[in-house]
Amino acid sequence: MKISTSRFGDIPVDETRIIQMRGGILGFEHLKQYILLTQDEKTPFWWLQSTEDGAIAFVVINSFVVDPVYAPIITDNDVRLLEIASSEDVVSMSVVTIVADPLKITANMRAPIIINIKKKLAKQIVLQNNEYAVQYSLTDTASAMENDGVGDAGNLSNLKKVSTTLAL
């Protein structure tokens, strides 16, 4: 299958890598099929590209790269909906907001996109508590990682698992 995108041009897509959204992404509920793309393995950012509308793609980041102790509560209904059998089959991605000032890049930690990487099923889940920010500063995350001695390769440890599993 080939899709035409506004950011990447025409790209081939292995249909076995298509992620089916259950419920859609807020504001884009009509789009149900996406694929994760990466341009550079040295960055923790990915693209969640719609296969149905080439103009729609979201910059995302693994939520655990942003906050290693991130612990969103997923309801039993969502666990069933996404057919999650094991926590090892799940990855949490947060939508990134990029603005003109690169020091003000944020991630939406309150509404992660939970992906069952085995079944290729996903849902954006709006967390019920206010513990996590809608606009969590990624500048703070980058500073903390530098202070902990974690270099660029360390930022990718969680993403490498996703990359291998999804055969990106």
Of all residues in the chain, what percent carry a pLDDT higher than 70?
A: 83
SS3 content of the chain, % helix, strand, coil (to 5): 25, 30, 45
In a domain, 167, yes or no: no
β-pair type (19-21, 121-124): parallel
- Tens of pLDDT along 63-76? 999 999 999 999 99
d(CA 87, CA 18): 20
- d(C-alpha 112, C-alpha 162), whole Å: 15
Handedness of CA 75, 77, 78, 79 (dihedral sign): positive
Q: Among positive and negative, which fits the CA dihedral 56, 59, 64, 67?
A: negative
In a domain, 160, yes or no: no
Question: What tens digit of pLDDT does each residue of 23-51 get?
Answer: 889 999 999 999 999 877 888 999 999 99
Residue 55 lies in a domain: yes
Distance CA 83, CA 116 (A): 7
| Residue 159 lies inside a defined structural domain of this protein | no
Mean pLDDT calculated for residue range 82-91: 94
pTM over the 0.85 mark: no
Mean pLDDT computed over every residue of the chain: 85
CATH code of residue 102? 2.30.290.10
Cα distances from 105 to residues 9, 24, 75, 124, 141, in angstroms, run 25, 23, 29, 20, 11
Number of domains in the chain: 1
Say what the pLDDT of residue 116 is: 97
- Asked if residue 141 is part of any domain, the answer here is yes
Residue 157 lies in a domain: no
Beta strands in the chain (DSSP E): 2-5, 9-12, 19-21, 33-37, 45-50, 57-62, 90-97, 106-107, 113-116, 121-124, 136-137
pLDDT at 153: 31
pLDDT at 164: 34
Q: Is residue 85 part of a domain?
A: yes
Structural domain of residue 18, as residue ranges?
Answer: 2-152
% of the chain surpassing 90 pLDDT: 70
Band (pLDDT 50/70/90 cuts) for residue 101 is confident
Q: For 151-167, how does the pLDDT look when each residue is reduced to its tens digit (9 = 90+)?
A: 333 333 333 333 333 33
Does residue 70 sit within a domain? yes
